[in-house]
Amino acid sequence: GAGVSQSPSNKVTEKGKDVELRCDPISGHTALYWYRQRLGQGLEFLIYFQGNSAPDKSGLPSDRFSAERTGESVSTLTIQRTQQEDSAVYLCASSLASGTGGTGELFFGEGSRLTVL
Amino acid sequence: GENVEQHPSTLSVQEGDSAVIKCTYSDSASNYFPWYKQELGKGPQLIIDIRSNVGEKKDQRIAVTLNKTAKHFSLHITETQPEDSAVYFCAAIVNTDKLIFGTGTRLQVFP
């Protein structure tokens, strides 16, 4: 079956522009995560959605970052007024269940590489 | 806040040797500890995980050990092969629901 799909795979934008990154999780997965990975760095937690619960936004680095998720399907990560330090790969992952329940295994997409000039 | 520390950041071994990567966590409530492997240009993939009710888990050449008292866990790869070369991330559940990753270890296996 289809895995986690992210688009665009590559995005080059100018400083100050807004960008939207999209994630299509695996069907039936209730949990969805966004992570940021700067070049050669680790996975930085951004935001987490679980079912109909309020999202955990504790990792969003500034108010320029926001994310939405429609039910248990598509999610979009929006970065407003992009800065050069926003350049990174943005990874989305989905899971059957969160935390201690279910398998806990995250299935990652291949990421959206954002370059801010 | 809650975090996961990982060491070393880079590791080079000869083919056939063993590799060990160590992680520590701060949230004493954490009870799920997965390890992910990330190959170049791809998203991370789960290779093995362990829950807090066991101290060790093995799957062929890879094993994970957990010491809940000391709050650390380790990945062991035996008989390393060139295709094991990748970046490895440990992770832990924090606040009972959120998966936080370590900073990663770049493993290079030389033939």
Encode pLDDT of A35-80 as tens digits. Answer: 999 988 889 999 999 888 889 999 999 999 999 998 888 999 999 9
What are the tens digits of pLDDT across the range B93-111? 877 678 889 999 999 999 9
pLDDT of residue B1: 60
pLDDT of residue B31: 87
What are the tens digits of pLDDT across the range A13-24? 999 999 999 999
Residue A62 C-alpha, separation from nearest chain B C-alpha, in angstroms: 17
Nearest to A90 by CA among A35, A43, A41, A47: A35
Among B5, B40, B99, most A C-beta atoms within 10 A, so best to mutate, is B99
What are the tens digits of pLDDT across the range B46-76? 999 998 888 999 999 999 999 999 999 999 9
CA A43 remoteness from chain centre: 11
Q: What percent of chain A has pLDDT over 90?
A: 73
Q: What is the CA radius of gyration of chain A?
A: 14
Strand partners, B4: B25
Which residue do the tokens 């362990």 mark?
B50
Residue A45: which of B34, B42, B100 has the nearest Cβ?
B100
Q: Would the pLDDT of A100 be above 50?
A: no
pLDDT band at A5 (very low <50, low <70, confident <90, very high): very high
Among A43, A94, A112, most B C-beta atoms within 10 A, so best to mutate, is A43
- Which residues of A are less than 8 Å from B6 in CB distance? 42
CA distance A81 to A79: 7
pLDDT of residue B6: 95
Q: Would the pLDDT of A91 be above 80?
A: yes
Q: Which residue of A has its CA nearest to B34?
A: A105
Higher model confidence: residue A2 or residue B72?
B72
Contact assessment for residue A60 and residue A47, using Cβ atoms and an 8 Å cutoff: yes
Average pLDDT over residues A75-97: 95
pLDDT of residue A105: 86
pLDDT of residue B95: 73
Residue A99 C-alpha, separation from nearest chain B C-alpha, in angstroms: 4
A110/B89 CB distance under 8 A: no
Provide the number of CB pairs (under 8 Å) joining chain A to chain B: 62
CA distance B98 to B111: 38
pLDDT band at A101 (very low <50, low <70, confident <90, very high): very low
Residue B18 C-alpha, separation from nearest chain A C-alpha, in angstroms: 23
A106/B46 CB distance under 8 A: yes
What are the tens digits of pLDDT across the range B1-35? 678 999 999 999 999 999 999 999 988 888 889 99
pLDDT of residue A40: 83
Backbone phi, then psi, for A90, in 5-degree steps? -105, 115
Q: Which residue of A has its CA nearest to B92?
A: A99
The helix/strand/coil state of B89 is strand
pLDDT of residue B52: 83
Which residue do the tokens 């791809």 mark?
B42
SS3 content of chain B, % helix, strand, coil (to 5): 5, 60, 40
A45/B34 CB distance under 8 A: no
**Amino acid type, B94:** V
Residue B104 C-alpha, separation from nearest chain A C-alpha, in angstroms: 6
pLDDT of residue A1: 54
Could you tell me which residues come within 8 angstroms of residue B23 by beta carbon, excluding any fewer than 6 positions away?
B4, B5, B6, B7, B33, B72, B73, B74, B75, B90, B92, B102
Angle at A108 between CA A105 and CA A113, to 5 degrees: 155
List the structure tokens of B111: 């033939």
